[in-house]
Amino acid sequence: MSMPPLFIVGAPRSGNTLTRRVLMASGQIYIPPETYVIGEIIERWPRWFWLSWREKVWLLCAYFDRHKHRADLDIESFSPFADDAITWPKARQTLPALFDALYAFMGREHGYPAARWGDKTPWNTMHLRGIVRRYPQAWYLHLIRDGRDAVASQIKADMRDLSGSAERWVVANRACLKHLPKGPRTLAMRYEDLVRDPEESFARIFDWAGLRFEPRFLTEMPQKLGDVGVHAHHAQVLRPITPDSIGKWRQSLSPEALTQLSPEFRKMMAELSYQMAD
């Protein structure tokens, strides 16, 4: 039986891609570009009960293959995976086995034949309840960032406007606080710690996840990072780790913009121990 996966969860622009880069530099784990669809598949799987196994395999592949960000995955075709999966014996025909094999397939395609897989899609927070129910024994790394910096970064990346970015940050962190398992399989880490003291912070993450840490992982660039080379908002991931982005919201969020942030945003800031002046 393969090891349970490692899910990096949190709001967008909270260090998810940086953490993926460092973990993959170790060669011990494969984490693809953002997949977007795994949570929806998990939630819809019970509705596919009456489908044949072949239809389930094809439908799962279609979710990945027809998504608008499919090109980010940098996979020529999912057909070799599907052709193999439809031949599996009855005892192997389960959704976890499909995901294990699919991520292993993507890993081999990208040159990472690691036995362990992970996922770092921020959108998973919108389906976190279903993911945790399906994978109660998985590792969950909750990345937390000052909401003002996360909002400013989303706006700069042209993801959402001020109110949409703030709401997305609140909803993501609320889901993590509500649904993540309590216990040693869940670790909360602050983005600010990752960039202020990367060696100590990532050593802690690796140790928690049962992986071997070496300082060189902080500077080595893995191959085949997919979306990192495609989207401008991931460009910082390819540069040395620095704390320069902490507090950068002061350069782009005006005092008037800060007054427009909702009470829910301010409440979540306090709950996550970030000080927000009146």
pLDDT 10s digits, 95-125: 999 999 999 999 999 988 877 999 999 999 9
Q: Supply the pLDDT for residue 232.
A: 47
Per-residue pLDDT of 167-195, as tens digits, reads: 999 999 999 999 999 999 999 999 999 99
Question: Residue 255 belongs to what domain range?
Answer: 6-226+239-271
Per-residue pLDDT of 203-234, as tens digits, reads: 999 999 999 999 999 999 887 665 655 544 55
**169 inside domain:** yes
Rounded Cα distance, 8 and 103, in Å: 15
Contacts of 93-102 with C-beta under 8 Å, sequence gap 24+, read: 93/53, 93/56, 95/41, 95/42, 95/45, 95/134, 96/134, 96/135, 98/56, 98/57, 98/60, 99/5, 99/38, 100/2, 102/60, 102/64, 102/78
The CATH number of whichever domain residue 211 belongs to comes to 3.40.50.300
Decide: pTM greater than 0.85: yes
Q: How many domains does the chain have?
A: 1
**89 inside domain:** yes
**233 inside domain:** no
**204 inside domain:** yes
Rounded Cα distance, 171 and 52, in Å: 36
**44 inside domain:** yes
Nearest to 169 by CA among 187, 182, 153: 153
**191 inside domain:** yes
Residues in contact with 121: Cβ distance below 8 Å, sequence separation at least 6, in sequence order: 16, 34, 35, 36, 38, 39
**276 inside domain:** no
**53 inside domain:** yes
Q: Where are the alpha helices (DSSP H) in 121-262?
A: 128-134, 147-156, 162-179, 191-196, 198-209, 255-259
Torsion angles phi and psi, residue 141, rounded to 5: -105, 110
